[in-house]
Copies of this chain bind each other. A is one copy, B any other.
Amino acid sequence: MSAPTTARGYGISDTKKYTDFSVQEFKLKTAGPHDVTLDIEFCGVCGSDVHTITGGWGPLSTDWVVPGHEIVGKVTHVGDEVKEFKVGQRVGVGAQVYACLECDRCKADNENYCPEQVDTYNAPFPDGVMAQGGYSSVIRTHDRFVFAIPEEIKSEEAGPLMCAGLTVYSPLKRNGTGPGKTVGIVGIGGLGHLAIQFAHAMGAKVIVFSHSANKKDDALKLGADEFVLSGEKDFAKPYFDKLDFILSAADVHNLPISDFLSMLKVEAKMVSVGLPDKEWEGLQPQIMASNASAIGTTHIGSKVECNEMLKLAAQKNVRPVIDQILPMSQAGKAIEGVKENHVRYRYVLKQDLA
């Protein structure tokens, strides 16, 4: 049986009607020797899906876009040169489906920073076919962007690790999170609740900052050593010069950045993996002068890091907290829940197109 050439998905045509999903058939990328095709079983609902289909990050690239990049399914076809995966194997796909694999960045396991990288949806493959996301029946991509799921991890739980998990793991890892280090995690949602677990699993002391007093118990259960209400006056003062790294998963543009930066040690960094629709407020170089701190962001992670992340998750029982598993046909309801902040951690969609 040859690999399928099309799939069906739930897509959005109008950023103003971002919960009005319609089912359409769409073309899959041309199957190449390194491509893996999978039948999708679950797809997590990420904040990026909402930013994209509401137009917050700009207009849609085509007239119909299928979101979703926290994908888990079973391999149905592999190209001739695929050695890592077999038909029937349970695998995941995250927020990236293409890189040149030949540039210096790709060769240095920084394929997530390849200038030719293609997002999992709302972007064209080099062959011109539009990449469509995981709110769909089938996805096909190069084996560099496919990840084996350890058997300890359930399929529905593996989904959110593909984007949210990797997105927090990579900056934690690259900024030295480990024993003897103190890490601040800002915001406890889909990304933040995994960041707490990973930072704890990596051996760091974890200080969680949140506006939501009602998330304190969760934070502590997830592995936080301390919980700080960042809405309170002078919340940062007791932590002056205490943090080796801050990972912000808060998806807002008006964080009290100056307070957060003040807690960093000399030359330490704050990385925001929350990517709000607007530019940061109050960011003047002066606020970093007291400690030579810096602020930046990162973009998902590499395959090497994804495999490390999955191994650590399996070993240390790092799992997403799933609010609800919804049939994929209720994608609109899930999107609404994320947009309106009703979701605490993660919704996952279960395939119902087959």
* A275 with B286, Cβ < 8 A, contacts A267-B174, A291-B113 known: yes
User: A265-321: which residues lie under 8 A (CB-CB) from chain B?
Assistant: 266-267, 269, 271-272, 274-276, 278-286, 288-299
- Cα separation A297 to B282 with both chains bound (whole Å): 15
- Cα separation A293 to B297 with both chains bound (whole Å): 7
- Listed A/B pairs (30) with beta-carbon separation below 8 Å: A57-B286, A104-B241, A105-B266, A108-B266, A110-B266, A113-B266, A113-B291, A113-B292, A115-B241, A174-B292, A253-B284, A269-B294, A271-B292, A274-B285, A275-B284, A275-B285, A275-B286, A275-B289, A276-B284, A278-B284, A280-B284, A280-B285, A288-B296, A289-B297, A289-B299, A292-B296, A292-B297, A293-B296, A294-B295, A295-B296
Contacts of A275 in B (CB 8 A): 284-286, 289
**Contact assessment for A294 and B282 in the assembled complex, using a CB-CB cutoff below 8 Å:** no
A240 CB within 8 Å of chain B: yes
Contacts of A280 in B (CB 8 A): 283-285
Q: Which residue of B lies closest to A170 (CB)?
A: B292
Contacts of A283 in B (CB 8 A): 279-280, 283
User: A132-191: which residues lie under 8 A (CB-CB) from chain B?
Assistant: 171, 174
* A288 with B294, Cβ < 8 A, contacts A105-B241, A283-B280 known: no
